């Protein structure tokens, strides 16, 4: 798949399931896969829609005819256990155009924003939602599905500076304009994120993805650090709970200002290049994005 910096691949496994596989040899490194497992399994435990995760043993020989050298090198560096996410056939991106007509309950929006704030996932924005709408056919109404949490848990890139009370900027969250009821979500979800649940979630991470972490003697030591930090963060939710979401008018003004800044200094011919991201929904390419 060409979308997303991790260059995932659609893989049919020997259980006859089809998965979007993120490889251990990708540029983001194994911590991105650790974040995928912890946040994804926590989301599922809290009742949010997130595709099933599996561990996929990958043999690079399967893709040896891949024409792109960069992808071949990625596969060669990813022999062994990788991370697979259940493929959602026909799913489409939750783009700003889709958001204009798609209804999201304030409590559901609040639950998703709350999870992102808990796990420091600042990568679910209006410009890159990391949300999918699925299914898109049949009698079942389309629902929001969460994907791509590799950029979450930013604290694990610098453990010595981790602050459980730190608040992050969620003003541009993809669901901010739905009036997310994060206070109700906090009352509902915070009591459920217990040490026991966190231990169960973190136990799903393979030892090999935790081994060698600087400052820790064993993978279990790293697991305890994740549990301790996230449990402390849950108890400090009053310090980081995001509530300051811009109004539609403020969002429009900020977007206009951002567009004006990007246009400054551009030659006239470049200013006339069409905005492919802003084309009508009917013309959108709804290729599956699970990057």
42, pLDDT greater than 50: yes
Interatomic CA distance for residues 236 and 115, integer angstroms: 14
Q: Mind listing the pLDDT tens digit for each residue in 223-254?
A: 999 999 999 999 999 999 999 898 778 877 87
- Relative orientation angle of helices 106-118 and 182-189, to the nearest 10 degrees: 70
Give pLDDT, residue 6: 87
Confidence label for 201 from pLDDT (cuts 50, 70 and 90): very high
Give pLDDT, residue 279: 45
281, pLDDT greater than 70: no
Give pLDDT, residue 290: 47
**Residue-averaged pLDDT of the chain:** 90
274, pLDDT greater than 60: no
CA distances from 82 to 54, 86, 126, 195, 207 (A): 9, 13, 29, 27, 12
Q: Mind listing the pLDDT tens digit for each residue in 203-218?
A: 999 999 999 999 999 9
Side by side, the strands of the sheet bearing 9-12 are 9-12, 18-22, 80-86, 53-58
Total-model pTM: 0.87
| Domain-wise residue ranges, the chain | 9-240
Confidence label for 256 from pLDDT (cuts 50, 70 and 90): confident
What's phi and psi for 10, nearest 5 deg? -85, 120
Average pLDDT over residues 139-167: 95
- Stretch (H or E) spanning 108: helix 106-118
Confidence label for 162 from pLDDT (cuts 50, 70 and 90): very high
Interatomic CA distance for residues 75 and 62, integer angstroms: 9
pLDDT > 90 fraction of the chain, expressed in percent and rounded: 77
69, pLDDT greater than 70: yes
Confidence label for 273 from pLDDT (cuts 50, 70 and 90): low
Using DSSP's 3-state secondary structure scheme, residue 134 falls into strand
- Name the more confident of 260 and 10: 10
- Name the more confident of 67 and 4: 67
- Name the more confident of 271 and 60: 60
Q: Mind listing the pLDDT tens digit for each residue in 104-147?
A: 999 999 999 999 999 999 999 998 999 999 998 878 899 999 99
Using DSSP's 3-state secondary structure scheme, residue 104 falls into coil
Strand residue runs (E) in 87-184: 92-93, 131-134, 143-146
């Amino acid at each position: 798949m060409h979308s997303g910096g991790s260059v995932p691949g659609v893989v049919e496994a020997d259980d006859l399931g089809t998965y979007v596989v993120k490889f251990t040899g990708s540029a983001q490194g194994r911590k991105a896969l650790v974040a995928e497992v912890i946040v994804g399994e926590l989301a599922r435990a809290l009742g949010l829609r997130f595709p099933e995760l599996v561990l996929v043993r990958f043999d690079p020989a399967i893709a040896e005819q891949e024409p792109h050298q960069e992808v071949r090198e990625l596969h060669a560096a990813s022999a062994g256990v990788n991370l697979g996410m259940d493929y959602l056939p026909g799913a489409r991106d939750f783009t700003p155009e889709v958001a204009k007509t798609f209804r999201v309950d304030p409590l559901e929006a609040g639950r998703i924003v709350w999870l992102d704030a808990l796990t420091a996932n600042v990568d679910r924005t209006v410009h890159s939602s990391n949300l999918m709408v699925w299914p898109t056919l049949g009698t079942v109404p389309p629902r929001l599905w969460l994907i791509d949490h590799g950029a979450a848990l930013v604290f694990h890139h610098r453990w010595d500076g981790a602050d459980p009370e730190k608040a992050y900027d969620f003003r541009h969250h993809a669901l901010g304009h739905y009036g997310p009821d994060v206070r109700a979500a906090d009352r509902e979800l915070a009591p459920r994120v217990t040490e026991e649940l966190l231990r169960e979630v973190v136990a799903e991470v393979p030892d090999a993805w935790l081994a060698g972490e600087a400052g820790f003697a064993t993978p279990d030591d790293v697991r305890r650090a994740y549990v301790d930090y996230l449990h402390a963060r849950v108890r400090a939710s009053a310090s980081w709970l995001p509530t300051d979401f811009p109004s539609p008018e403020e969002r429009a003004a900020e977007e206009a200002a951002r567009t004006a800044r990007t246009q400054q200094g551009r030659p006239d011919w470049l200013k006339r290049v069409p905005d492919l991201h802003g084309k009508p929904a009917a013309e959108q390419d709804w290729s599956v994005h699970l990057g």
